[in-house]
Chain A
């Protein structure tokens, strides 16, 4: 693997960093408080091509690779964690499965609006009683004439409150267990499809996280992704990809926390000198920086495995997600510690970063699930 970024990746990093720090960062504390979905910034990101980073140009995207997506998500999350999640979900949980498993018609129809910001995407997998254990889902889709009739409830769905296009999973044949799960593209305005409760989250508060309720929702047959029974495969493959971007979010949040900690440690004085002169503070900063660098390399490496067309990269993507989220929480905690009492105050960014980081260890497979994936790959 070449650790050096390519020319276009370096330019992307520089430009996205500038954009995110100028346009997104100032809004981050505000939308954290209000929980308002940042539509104006989403339009700006659509204009830059950040909503379809990995979508080829013929479908309205920017045609970059997965390492580049990770770089973009890191920079966006560094400025605003909520916006980082929104972009990551749109790219890797909504656009990616359609791109990878959709028919030409589906790609032509659904990808351009996801890339140009006309519609935001969401991924309906988790249910009230089925999280990491996907096969425990209860949603069903039965074929009636030209339509599938969808019934069920999905919970903790990022972007859901504002999304227009959903990739939704349901059983077409419960007896076949996970081989009976299928994936569908569902549009927001389909009759019978309503939103349930809006989640009041600890962090990433501006992500329109909502419940989806399907009551006899008729979905045209042509909205089936791939074939019946392929849902589990689609879901697993998609999660392998999107976990890389959870890793990238984690690196971004951790980097933001380190940036804040460094700045504060140089300004804050104690016993007559800046606290960055104290070895205990230096020790924390060195640990934070080393772990962030290690996490970043794991994330890029997982993206690189995907870009090189490696058949199996579940282990690498699980490692990047598990490790980066683990250290992000640790780094954010240390950043609060370096700020002392001020770190506990909403006036300082680290308070928000600490809250934003926690979800990383939970969604798209908890750390425990990631570890099972990693251990299985090693002891097969």
Chain B
């Protein structure tokens, strides 16, 4: 991929960080299920917590393509660290960047973009996944406060987040139009945590249930205006898909890198595996589809940077990169043979981590409906 010098330099910086500081700890994270706090600090120090946020709000003032590259490079060595960064930046930071007023930006966006605080996005509910209009969490205004009641599920970084964007309906009869978005800080009375999920993969990333019981938050916690929630989370998800695409791409690249290495270092009947046409066929397929996915992800990022429509393209990037990423991870295990299903090699972790990319922030089926609607004009 030919990138500008600036993008290449940035990629090298993130790659060094990923190879030297993240990769050596990926296996341990996967086993212990713990995300090292000092890595959060390092992400902040390297100014990766608010890559596309303007400098005046504590970010790095770079573009979406930089951000996609960062998620990709980190995902290449560790899915958990990748999803931590993606959830923080795309889901925790973006809604405030998009819809926050000046005071809200100063108060929340700045520390989030600097990496001093961690962000999360409370959208999904036990009974409302991809169909977010089914939101049951309610917000009623009461004595100059909004009072939240309800449960959010599968919230990435939920328990560790300092700031959570929560969607809630003020009038369930209004469907989408009744939904608003609020900023809730950790420690607010009435805001507690349910169980943390035990998952197939992404063990280093915590996934929590958030419980709101008569949780009162100040009026200035409202993002945008009342009823703006649907627009805010749709736009958040459109952008978020680019980061999930980038992460799926990174994990796929990791699987390819491992396969190339393994096929060169290991022999069968006295010949390196890489000389076998069956192996070559798999490597060529993986590499081609990963390159195609990379172009789709970068293209979507570039469109967003240029202020052009990118809904279809970001859905394509997410759907395609996760589909071929799964295929690549699966082939990587095939290439590794029995070694591939042991934790001596990273590929079994890759396939477990990659599976979430086909599901999170809208399943592949939802992405396809989004794409088809854009094309068919519905």
Contacts and interface: CB of A to CB of B under 8 A. Distances in A.
| Complex A–B touching at CB under 8 A | yes
Interface stretch (A6-14, A144-152, A203-211, A279-287): A279-287
Nearest to A371: B284
A304 interface: yes
Contact of A266 (B280, B373, B376): B376
Contact of A286 (B274, B289, B367): B367
Contact of A371 (B280, B298, B369): B280
A372 B277 contact: yes
Given A286-B371, A291-B320, A372-B277, A305 B292 contact: no
Contact of A294 (B263, B264, B320, B378): B320
Interface residues of A, number: 44
A378 interface: yes
B319 A290 contact: yes
Nearest to B276: A375
Nearest to A1: B2
A16 interface: no
Interface in B1-23: 1-3
A135 interface: no
Interface stretch (A52-60, A126-134, A188-196, A295-303): A295-303
Nearest to B369: A282
A49 B296 CA distance: 31
Interface string B333-376: 00000000000000000000000000000000101111111011
A100 interface: no
Contacts of A294: 289, 292-293, 295-296, 316, 320
Contact of A285 (B292, B302, B365, B376): B376
A260 to B, nearest CB: 13
B376 A305 contact: no
Nearest to A308: B2
Contact of B287 (A282, A291, A304, A319): A319
A323 B2 contact: no
B283 A282 contact: no
B284 A282 contact: no
The B interface is mostly helix, strand or loop, or mixed, namely helix
Contact of B274 (A308, A319, A322, A375): A375
Interface in B241-282: 260, 263-264, 274, 277, 279-281
B288 interface: yes
Contacts of A372: 277, 280, 284
A330 to B, nearest CB: 13
B299 A289 contact: no
Contact of A282 (B1, B277, B313, B372): B372
A322 B291 CA distance: 12
Contacts of B284: 318, 322, 370-375, 378
Interface in A294-351: 294-295, 297-298, 301, 304-305, 308, 310, 315-316, 318-319, 322-323
B371 A290 contact: yes
Nearest to B365: A283
Contacts of B292: 294-295, 297-298, 319, 323
B369 A379 contact: no
A318 B283 CA distance: 13
Contact of A379 (B260, B320, B367): B260
B285 interface: yes
Given A293-B316, A298-B292, A3 B274 contact: no
Contact of B369 (A265, A286, A291, A373): A286
Given A286-B372, A375-B274, A379-B283, A298 B320 contact: no
A79 to B, nearest CB: 20
A286 B378 CA distance: 13
B313 A378 contact: no
A298 B280 contact: no
A368 interface: yes
A262 interface: yes
Closest 4 CB pairs of A and B: A375-B280, A282-B372, A371-B284, A286-B368
19 contacts: A3-B302, A4-B302, A279-B369, A282-B376, A283-B365, A285-B372, A286-B316, A286-B369, A286-B370, A289-B316, A290-B296, A294-B289, A301-B291, A322-B288, A371-B281, A375-B274, A375-B287, A379-B263, A379-B280
Interface of A: 1-4, 262, 265-266, 276, 279, 281-283, 285-287, 289-291, 293-295, 297-298, 301, 304-305, 308, 310, 315-316, 318-319, 322-323, 368, 370-376, 378-379
